[in-house]
Amino acid sequence: MHGMDKSRIALVHDWLTGMRGGEKCLEVFCELFPKATVFTLIHKKGSVSPVIEGMDIRTSFLQSIPGIESHYRQFLPLFPSAIESFDLSDYDLVLSSSHCVAKGVRAPESALHICYCYTPMRYAWKFFDEYFAKEGPLKRWFIRKVMSHMRKWDTRSNKSIDYFIAISHNVKNRIRDFYGSEADVIYPPVDTGKSAPGIKDEGYYLIVSALVPYKRVDLAVKAFRETGRRLLVIGEGTELGSLRGSLYDHKSNIEFLGWLDDESLGRYYDGCRALIFPGEEDFGIVPVEAQSHGKPVIAYAAGGALETVIPINNSSDGEQGPTGVFFFEQTPSALNRAVDIFEASAAAFKEDRIMENAARFGRDRFKREIADYVSLRWKKHEDTE
């Protein structure tokens, strides 16, 4: 990249404990800057891809706490001081990959700091109740105090950031609302084009999700219990027990399959009738993955889904054609009405058109756009020094 061959580059990521959407972005950053140093709060060795594992990874003092890899979220009040403890004084470019505190790293004034922002801290700014609704009153009171402190720190810590990149226009708006800062938008990478030959409809609807409260899988379970339509749920999480327990009459139309490897997941995408997406996401990789397999998405009309799904009542724009159906209230009846609309208009959904829509979000596109963005900003940074 332009003039960056001899520059020292720091990649800063919140934590490395699994290979999720944020880590897939970090993997691309590592490919673009293979000589960079990766700074992260904690690193569970072997939990991320070989590309990331092969980097020079530096962890914070939190790494030395026994059991931290399984219980790191309980140490949230220590995250700001942990991220600020890194010494980046010798680095010329800082690229932070942040949904929590990574963006708060102390970059030197002479460095260029670009933040790829998945969202302003969800539980501190907008989704407190979705995360903590089931806690007791005393614990909720304590957490609110912590979050008030976190919001103040979160705003102050933006001072070293030269440019924000948001993962969606939805997040761009949050950055403006919460931070008073502008952001450019580069959609994250999604593995597309992996659909198997002979896509089929095996008669089931599919959910692919972590089973945590804000994902609203409970809404889909209630909706499908009412209709008896077949629903397969791929994922694990804290809500698994209560979701299974809600099926007290052991209805066989809803099955929980746990987490599956990519190959198995692909087969379930290929065989489903449509994906159900009942929560509000910052971007939402899963709906794009489903569309890359030619499958429509029935989604709650909020967040990133508004940018990745073309609803049937909006498909007259151009020749694209619809890729899904929206519902506008997070209620079982609203979701079931959307499924009814989908089934009544199934012929309108064309596999090739749906796959074309997904191709807009491919990995090669992300890598190219990030490389061009950083190169352009670096040239501007050099010219003003």
- Provide DSSP, 202-268: -SEEEEE---SGGG-HHHHHHHHHHH---EEEEB-STTHHHHHHT-TT--TTEEEEE---HHHHHHH
Token pair of 240, please? 């698994």
In angstroms, rounded to a whole number, what is the distance separating the alpha carbons of residues 248 and 225? 11
- Residue 9 has a pLDDT of 97
Task: Give every residue of the chain whose pLDDT is below 50, as ranges.
Answer: 315-318
CA atoms within 13 A on the CB side of 99: 17
Report pLDDT for 146.
76
- pLDDT tens-digit profile of 375-384? 999 999 988 8
Start and end residues for every CATH 3.40.50.2000 domain found in the chain? 204-359
The whole-angstrom separation of Cα 277 and Cα 286 is: 8
Supply the pLDDT for residue 346. 93
Q: What is the chain's percent helix, strand, coil content, to nearest 5?
A: 45, 15, 35
Cα–Cα dist 63/69, whole Å: 8
Give domain 9-189+362-380's CATH architecture: 3-Layer(aba) Sandwich (3.40)
The per-residue pLDDT for range 247-302, each reduced to its tens digit, is: 765 568 999 999 898 889 999 999 999 999 999 998 999 999 999 999 999 999 99
Which pLDDT score, from 0 to 100, does residue 315 have? 46
Residues contacting residue 96 through CB under 8 Å, at least 6 positions apart: 11, 12, 13, 102, 103, 105, 113, 114, 115, 116, 161
- Residue 5: which residues within 8 A CB-CB, separation 6 or more? none
Residue 38: φ, ψ to 5°? -100, 125
Task: Report how far residue 181's alpha carbon sits from residue 302's, in angstroms, rounded to the nearest whole number.
Answer: 22
Residue 214's pLDDT is: 85
Q: What is the C-alpha separation between 146 and 269, in angstroms, rounded?
A: 40
Q: What is the pTM of this model?
A: 0.84
Question: 204-359: what fold?
Answer: Rossmann fold (3.40.50)
